[in-house]
A and B are shown apart, each in its own frame.
Chain A
Amino acid sequence: MHRSLQTWLLVAQRLGVALITLVIVSFAVFFATELLPGDVAEILLGQAATPEAVAGLREAMGLNEPAISRFLSWLSGLATGDMGRSYVNDIEVADLLGRRLSNSLRLAVVVTVICVPFALTCGIAAAMWKGSILDRLVSILTISVISIPEFMVATLAVLVFAVWLSWLPALSYGADASNFGALLKAYAMPVITLTCVVSAQMIRMTRAAVIETINTPYVEMALLKGASRRRMVLRHALPNALGPIANAVALSLSYLVGGVIIVETVFNYPGVAKLMVDAVATRDLPLIQSCAMVFCVSYLSLITLADVVATLSNPRLRK
C-alpha cells in the first residue's frame, strides 16, 4: 500500500542517517581519546612509566603507528564485523563486550518491563485527575525520589534489605542465578534502585505531555460534546501525547544501557558502563570505540524508534 511504502522509506532514510551519525560519533570519540593525557603504554606502566619502559612497550604493542591509521584499521575491521583486540589484555573486544553487554541488556529489560507500564499508568492517571490528591501525591513523590542522589538510594537499599533485614544479597552478579527465586533475589536490588530513578522521570514527562494535549482545542471540543473525561484522555489526548512520551521513554531506556555506572559500582554488577570507564582509564582505544559504538547504536535505535512512533501517531506529520 501507498502508506506502508512511505513508512518504509521513512525508516530507511532514518537508518541511513543513523549510520552516518555513528561514523561521526566514532570520529569524535577517537579524537576525544587522543586529547586525553597519556596513552595505553604510559597508563599500563603507571608509576613505573620511565621513558625507556614506555618506549619499549609502545614498540611491542604496535602503538608507534600513527593513531589515525590504527583507528582506520579498527574501523575497517568493524565493517567486516571484527572489533579488534583489547590493547590492555589482548582479549577479543567482541568477547569482552558481549558478556558485559548481555548483562546490561538483561538488567535494562527487567527494569523496562516493570517501569514503562507502571510509569505510564501513573503519569496518565495523574494527568487525568490533575489537581487531585492523587496528582499531588504523585508529583511530590516523584520529585523527592529523583532529588535523592542515586548512590544514596542504592546505599540505603543495601543497608535496609541486605545488612539490617538480610532479605537480599548486597551484591548482584545476575548471571549466577540458578533458579527463578534466586534470579529474583539477584536482580531485586539493582532493579529497585533503577526503577525508582527511571520511573519517576517517566511519570513526570508523561503527565506533562498528556496535560498539554488535554488543553488543546479539539480535546476541549470533545469534552464539550459530552465525551467522558476518561474516554477523552485515552482516545484523543493520549495519541497526541505519544510523541513526547516515546521520546522520554527512549531517553530513559538508553540511560539504562550505558549510564548505570553507580548501580554497577554499588552492587558490583558486571555491566558495560564499568567496562567503558575502565577502557577510558586505560586508554584502550579499540575497547573505548566499541563501547561508544554500542551506546550510540542503542541510543540511536531507541530515539529513531521514538521518532517513528511520534510520526505514526500524529497523522499530520505523515503527509
Chain B
Amino acid sequence: MMQNTQSTPRKFSTERLGYAFNTTGKIGLAVILFWAVIAVIAPFITPYPPGKIVDWDYFGPISESYWMGTDYLGRDILSRVLMGARYTVGISLAGVTLACMGGVVLGMIAAVIGGWFDTILSRLLDAFNGIPSLLFGLVVVAAVGSSIPVLILTLAAIYLPGSYRFARALAVNVNTMDFVTVARARGEKTTYLIRTEILPNILGPVLADLGLRFVFIVLVLSGLSFLGIGVQPPHADWGGLVRENIEGLSLGAPAVIFPCIAIASLTISVNMFIDNLPQKIRDRSH
C-alpha cells in the first residue's frame, strides 16, 4: 500500500532487486563506513600524537608535514580530526540510536494504549523537557562524574522527549486509521499492533527525524565538553575542534575549516543514506 508515487518508473527494478540501493544511498553509506573505519584504526594512522605541539606557530596553513594545517596551539589538525572521528561517530551514533529507539517505542505504546498512561507519560516527558539542559548537564557531572557512557546516556536523555513527541504525534494519527481499527477489532495484541501496523507506517518520518537528531547530537557534543561531560583533553570531537579553533576563522585557518567539512560529510551522508533507504526497508507493510 505504501508506495512512493514519484518513484513509480523505478519501482519495477527496485522490486526485483529487493534491498538494492540507489547511487546516492550508496555514496552515503560509503562515507559513513569510511568514517567508521577511521574511527577504529585512528590511533594507528595519526601522523603525530593528537596532543603534541608540533609547531611553534599556530593556525598554520596546509603544508607537506601538516596536511590540514595546525591548530591554535600548533598541534596537527589531521591527527586531531582522525582521532576525533572516534568520539564523534561513536558517541553520536550510540546517543541518537538510544534516544530514537526509546522515544519511538514509548511514543507508539503511548499512542496505542492511550488514556491515562499516555497522558502521564507525555506530561512527565514534557516536564523533563522543561528542565534546561545546561542545568541537567551540570547535575549529571556533579552527581555521577564524567565518562563516555555517562555522556551517551546524557545525550540520549536530552533528545528522548523530542523523539517521543514526534513519534507519538505520528502514531496517534496512524492509530485512528481504518486498518488499525480493523486489526484491533480482530483482537490483535498491542505488541502486534505496534510492530505490524504502526511502526511501518511511521518509519519514514521517524528515520528523517533520526537523521536530523544525529546532526544535532554531533553538534551538541562539543557544548557538553565545556560542562565537563564531553570528550576529555587532549582529544576533542569535531564540534569541539571547530569551537576551540573558531578564532582561526577570520584568518582563514584550515584548522577550523576541516573539522567543519568532516562534520558536514558525516551528517550529510547519514541523511543521504536514510533518505535513500531501499523501499523494502522503508515500507515493510507490503
> Which of B135, B216, B218, B267 has its CB near the most chain A CB atoms (within 10 A)?
B135
Q: Which of B132, B142, B170, B260 contacts A258 (CB 8 A)?
A: B132
A280 and B134 contacting across the interface, CB-CB below 8 Å: yes
Q: Which of B128, B216, B266 contacts A146 (CB 8 A)?
A: B216
Q: From residue 286 to 319 of chain A, which have CB atoms closer than 8 A to chain B?
A: 288, 291-292, 295-296, 299-300, 303, 306, 310, 314, 316-317
Stretch from B71-79, B97-105, B238-246 contacting the other chain: B238-246
* B196 close to A (CB within 8 Å): no
Can you list, as one digit per residue, whether each of A207-226 has a CB less than 8 Å from chain B (1) or not (0)?
11101101111001001000
* A131 close to B (CB within 8 Å): yes
* B94 close to A (CB within 8 Å): no
- In the bound complex, what is the Cα–Cα distance between A218 and B214 (angstroms)? 33
* A5 close to B (CB within 8 Å): no
B5 and A146 contacting across the interface, CB-CB below 8 Å: no
Can you list, as one digit per residue, whether each of B1-43 has a CB less than 8 Å from chain A (1) or not (0)?
1111111000000000000000000000000000000000000
User: Dominant SS at the B interface?
Assistant: helix
B267 and A152 contacting across the interface, CB-CB below 8 Å: no
- In the bound complex, what is the Cα–Cα distance between A303 and B136 (angstroms)? 21
A155 and B246 contacting across the interface, CB-CB below 8 Å: yes
A21 and B166 contacting across the interface, CB-CB below 8 Å: no
List chain B residues, Cβ under 8 A from A29. Answer: 131-132, 135
- In the bound complex, what is the Cα–Cα distance between A21 and B166 (angstroms)? 19
User: Dominant SS at the A interface?
Assistant: helix
Chain A: interface residue total (CB-CB under 8 A): 68
* B93 close to A (CB within 8 Å): no
Can you list, as one digit per residue, whether each of B229-268 has a CB less than 8 Å from chain A (1) or not (0)?
0000000000100110010011000001000100110111
List chain B residues, Cβ under 8 A from A204. Answer: 208, 212
* Known contacts A143-B271, A220-B5; is-contact A148 B173 (Cβ 8 Å): no
Q: Which of B127, B209, B246 contacts A152 (CB 8 A)?
A: B246
**Which of chain A's residues has its CB closest to B124's CB?**
A24
* B183 close to A (CB within 8 Å): no
Expressed in whole angstroms, the minimum distance between the Cβ of A285 and any Cβ of chain B is: 12
- In the bound complex, what is the Cα–Cα distance between A29 and B177 (angstroms)? 40
* A247 close to B (CB within 8 Å): yes
- In the bound complex, what is the Cα–Cα distance between A258 and B212 (angstroms)? 20
B173 and A314 contacting across the interface, CB-CB below 8 Å: yes
* B150 close to A (CB within 8 Å): no
* B205 close to A (CB within 8 Å): yes
**Which of chain B's residues has its CB closest to A258's CB?**
B132
B204 and A211 contacting across the interface, CB-CB below 8 Å: yes
Can you list, as one digit per residue, whether each of B255-286 has a CB less than 8 Å from chain A (1) or not (0)?
01000100110111001000100000000000
A35 and B173 contacting across the interface, CB-CB below 8 Å: no
List chain A residues, Cβ under 8 A from B225. Answer: none
* Known contacts A217-B1, A244-B170; is-contact A21 B123 (Cβ 8 Å): yes
List chain B residues, Cβ under 8 A from A15. Answer: none
**Top 3 closest A-B pairs, CB basis?**
A296-B130, A316-B176, A208-B208
B residues engaging A (CB < 8 A)? 1-7, 119, 123-124, 126-132, 134-136, 138-139, 142-143, 162, 165-166, 169-170, 172-173, 176-177, 201-202, 204-205, 208-209, 211-212, 215-216, 218-219, 222, 239, 242-243, 246, 249-250, 256, 260, 263-264, 266-268, 271, 275
A residues engaging B (CB < 8 A)? 17, 20-22, 24-25, 28-29, 32-33, 35-37, 130-131, 139-140, 143-144, 146-152, 155-156, 159, 163, 201, 204-205, 207-209, 211-212, 214-217, 220, 223, 240, 243-244, 247-248, 251, 258, 261, 276-277, 280, 288, 291-292, 295-296, 299-300, 303, 306, 310, 314, 316-317
